[in-house]
Amino acid sequence: MAASFPNVLVFVVVFFFSSRAQQPYINNAQLNCYATNASSALGYSCNGLRPSCQSFLTFRAESPYLSPPLIAFLLSADTANISRINSVPDVATLPAGELLIVPVPCFCSGQFYQHNASYTLKSAGENYFTVANDTYQGLSACQALIDQNHFDSRHLKSGDQIVVPLRCACPTLNQTSAGVRYLLSYLVTWGDDIPTIANRFNADYPSVLAANNLTAKSTIFPFTTLLIPLTTEPTRISSAPSPPPDVSQPSGAGGSSNKWVFAGVGIGAGVLILLGFPSLFFCLWRRRRRRQIQRKKGKLVSSSEDYGGLPFKSSSTPSMTTPSPLASSVIRELLDSMTLTLYKFDELKRATGNFDEDHRIRGSVFRGIFNGDAAAVKRLKGDVSNEINILKQISHSNVIKLSGFCLHEGNTYMVYEFADLGSLSDWLHHKKNIFGDSSTSLTWKQRIQIACDVADGLNYLHNYTNPPYIHKNLKSNNILLSRDFRAKVANFGLARPVEEEEGGSRQLTRHVVGTQGYMSPEYLEHGLITPKLDVFAFGVLLLELLSGKEASFAKEEERREVLLWAAIDDILSGEDVINKLRRFIDHRLGDDYPFELAFAMAELAKRCVARDPAARPNMMEVLVSLSAICNSTLDWEPGDLSNSSPGSTICARLFSPLGS
């Protein structure tokens, strides 16, 4: 690495010299972490007029920090402010090398001005030098890191969280009286010279020299900061990324121009020991426990609009105007907790065969293969932080797992655990399920198991997450089936936390969204949001499982839409209940179901879809009732028309993974 540094220094004489020194230039002192205690490497001293001020940093977009939220995350800055000042959309993926201005507050912290960022070491190869130079591009220096962190610089390990004091400063009295309002910490790169830098920011060349205690003869070095005094807020820098250093032909060597050429110097042995490569933890793929199953040729076939997701208008043109899908605070939290993987877009392209039609499951959902494991990749627009925030903290076998995501050109790509058998609605309502065949339907046992699974997942959401959540969009489209027909609740796009009813205040919305046939009367009519709304939808789901009918369907003879939930009252009351119910139950089951249990399930469903929310059971009660049905079903064998007596074994799974 050191060899790549040209050991050439070129000096160019310019005529101006200012004695109004403000902050000494670091002058490559940062290269030698131990052999010097130049205070210039520790930070800019607190010699300004004020102890704190607005300041600006620069940062060059570099993988993986290619979008404003990620850069904001790294620098403890604000995404919206970065977007605004650089006139780039929040979600833009920037070309590597693009220079961004990053507004940050600057504080006097003891002797030095600084803006604190925090960084968690990702790999064993990282050390104070690589963090300061490679990751932070020179916005900090190893001396400052050593000074302000208690971790022994020689025994750093991944997971250590360090303070990264970023080099900023506030204008001195002299500068302020000259009209300077801000100081910008510019990151010098290959090929830079002070006149050009000054020009770029409309700064006065002598004032830049003075601000850094430089003379016209001085040399500046890449990966160091240069203070630029500004009289107004900086604006977008329209600049092409700098060309790589041309070692053989240092421009300005002839002395005929005022170009400055910069080169590194030899590196002390101490630094060489410290060199390492920060590896990108982002690429780590959380290993799945399950191996990919080899499925026979045959794609998922479905006519349904969505795959546990909101319908997405398929569009290949990336939007540059969409609002931020993720707040930087969310990303920060996610990356810190490292529960989710941040994928690179290239990885997704590779996994999905470049989003090939063959990989399309439906709509904007693609099947991807990551290290041999299948996953569902879903493209979303708009704000998806809600769903990410919820799913990242949920770990339950009956809730679909989010393994990571990727931000790319205004879209968020979510990577979920793969549900091999598609959605429940495919199996219940559509002509073809994934086997391309309509004669196969779900057996009674499978239906009961699915009901129990969904109840388990919902009960977990309502009672065991912190905060508890209401799913708000429960429907058979959003229930996905694993290859052993176990159900997983998906699509948390509309989910929201349960708010405590304090002093009788109730959670209301004017923005009623949902699917016809699943929305409870109090939600439709008054926008009232309580967990009972999910209980209602769950009741509809039970009726779907029983009847094989859709939540709202056209009744041929009456030529009108019928809501499934509205039908159950009639069926279970009046004369001839038994025959009415038999006719209601999915004919594809034939006689292969225990009638008494079906009856019990219908009764439970009826209670769940009661008009009055207070009359509905809560999810815990539903789960208990269902567990009895599930339990009896386990004892029942197809063909066994006499109903079995309830056994004593408990559906073991039902009570297992409560809590986290």
Ligand X SMILES: *[C@@H]1O[C@H](CO)[C@@H](O)[C@H](O)[C@H]1NC(C)=O
The region of 19-27, 332-340, 480-488, 602-610 touching ligand X under the rule CB under 6 A is 19-27
Beta carbon nearer to ligand X, 69 or 103: 103
Of 10, 20, 34, 600, which one interacts with ligand X (CB under 6 A)? 20
Site for ligand X in 67-96 (CB under 6 A): 78, 81
Residue 427 corresponds to which tokens in the numbers above?
A: 């199996």
97 in Cβ contact with 60 (< 8 Å): yes
Beta carbon nearer to ligand X, 1 or 652: 1
Beta carbon nearer to ligand X, 48 or 617: 48
Q: Does 1 bind ligand X (CB under 6 A)?
A: yes
Residue 81 C-beta: closest distance to ligand X, Å: 4
Looking at the DSSP bridge assignments, the partners of residue 374 are 369
Of 7, 16, 17, 37, which one interacts with ligand X (CB under 6 A)? 37
Q: Does 24 bind ligand X (CB under 6 A)?
A: yes
How many whole angstroms separate alpha carbon 481 and alpha carbon 483?
6
Residue 84 C-beta: closest distance to ligand X, Å: 8
Beta carbon nearer to ligand X, 267 or 284: 267
Q: Does 116 bind ligand X (CB under 6 A)?
A: yes
- Tell the burial category of 231 from Cβ atoms under 10 Å away from its Cβ (0-12, 13-18, 19+): middle
The region of 16-24, 304-312, 530-538, 577-585 touching ligand X under the rule CB under 6 A is 16-24
Beta carbon nearer to ligand X, 21 or 562: 21
Which helix (H) or strand (E) segment is 377 a member of? strand 373-380
Secondary structure letter of residue 310 according to DSSP: -
22 in Cβ contact with 172 (< 8 Å): yes
Residue count (the chain): 660
Q: Does 36 bind ligand X (CB under 6 A)?
A: yes
Residue 139 C-beta: closest distance to ligand X, Å: 12
Site for ligand X in 274-303 (CB under 6 A): 275
Beta carbon nearer to ligand X, 107 or 260: 107
Q: Does 133 bind ligand X (CB under 6 A)?
A: yes
Looking at the DSSP bridge assignments, the partners of residue 107 are 52, 114
Beta carbon nearer to ligand X, 45 or 196: 45
406 backbone dihedrals φ, ψ, rounded to 5°: -150, 135
Number of residues counted as binding ligand X (CB under 6 A): 24
How many whole angstroms separate alpha carbon 448 and alpha carbon 593?
11
Beta carbon nearer to ligand X, 78 or 534: 78
Residue 130 C-beta: closest distance to ligand X, Å: 8
The region of 101-109, 330-338, 408-416, 650-658 touching ligand X under the rule CB under 6 A is 101-109
The region of 29-37, 353-361, 515-523, 530-538 touching ligand X under the rule CB under 6 A is 29-37
- Tell the burial category of 232 from Cβ atoms under 10 Å away from its Cβ (0-12, 13-18, 19+): exposed
Of 59, 65, 107, 262, which one interacts with ligand X (CB under 6 A)? 107
Q: How many CB atoms are located within 10 Å of the residue 441 CB?
A: 17
Q: Does 49 bind ligand X (CB under 6 A)?
A: no
Residue 62 C-beta: closest distance to ligand X, Å: 8
Secondary structure letter of residue 84 according to DSSP: H
Residue 469 corresponds to which tokens in the numbers above?
A: 């959540």
Cis-peptide into 64, omega within 30 deg:
yes
How many whole angstroms separate alpha carbon 364 and alpha carbon 620?
35
Query: Beta strands 225-230 and 479-481: pairing type?
Result: unpaired
Residue 174 C-beta: closest distance to ligand X, Å: 4
**If DSSP states are collapsed to H, E and C, what string results for 106-169?**
EEEECCEEEEEEEEECCCCCCCHHHHHHHHCCCCCCHHHHHHHCCCCCCCCCCCCEEEEEECCC
Of 267, 562, 577, 634, which one interacts with ligand X (CB under 6 A)? 267
Q: What angle do CA 641, 647, 648 make, to 5 degrees?
A: 175
Residue 346 C-beta: closest distance to ligand X, Å: 20
The region of 20-28, 151-159, 238-246, 333-341 touching ligand X under the rule CB under 6 A is 20-28
How many whole angstroms separate alpha carbon 194 and alpha carbon 220?
8
Q: How many CB atoms are located within 10 Å of the residue 190 CB?
A: 17
Q: Does 45 bind ligand X (CB under 6 A)?
A: no
Residue 189 C-beta: closest distance to ligand X, Å: 9
Q: Does 252 bind ligand X (CB under 6 A)?
A: no
Q: Does 329 bind ligand X (CB under 6 A)?
A: no
CA neighbor of 187 nearest in space, from 16, 14, 56, 44: 56
Residue type, 64: P
416 in Cβ contact with 400 (< 8 Å): yes
- Tell the burial category of 621 from Cβ atoms under 10 Å away from its Cβ (0-12, 13-18, 19+): middle
The region of 10-18, 31-39, 434-442, 448-456 touching ligand X under the rule CB under 6 A is 31-39
The dihedral formed by the CA atoms of 627, 629, 633 and 639, expressed in degrees to the nearest 10: -170
State the distance between the two ends of the chain, measured CA to CA, in whole angstroms: 47
Beta carbon nearer to ligand X, 263 or 624: 263
Beta carbon nearer to ligand X, 172 or 423: 172
Q: In Å, how far are 86, 181, 352 from 58, measured between CA atoms?
A: 11, 17, 36
Residue 103 C-beta: closest distance to ligand X, Å: 6
Residue 657 C-beta: closest distance to ligand X, Å: 39
Q: Does 223 bind ligand X (CB under 6 A)?
A: yes
Site for ligand X in 203-222 (CB under 6 A): 213
Q: Does 174 bind ligand X (CB under 6 A)?
A: yes
Contact positions vs ligand X (CB under 6 A): 1, 20-22, 24, 31, 36-37, 78, 81, 103, 107, 109, 116, 133-134, 148, 163, 172, 174, 213, 223, 267, 275
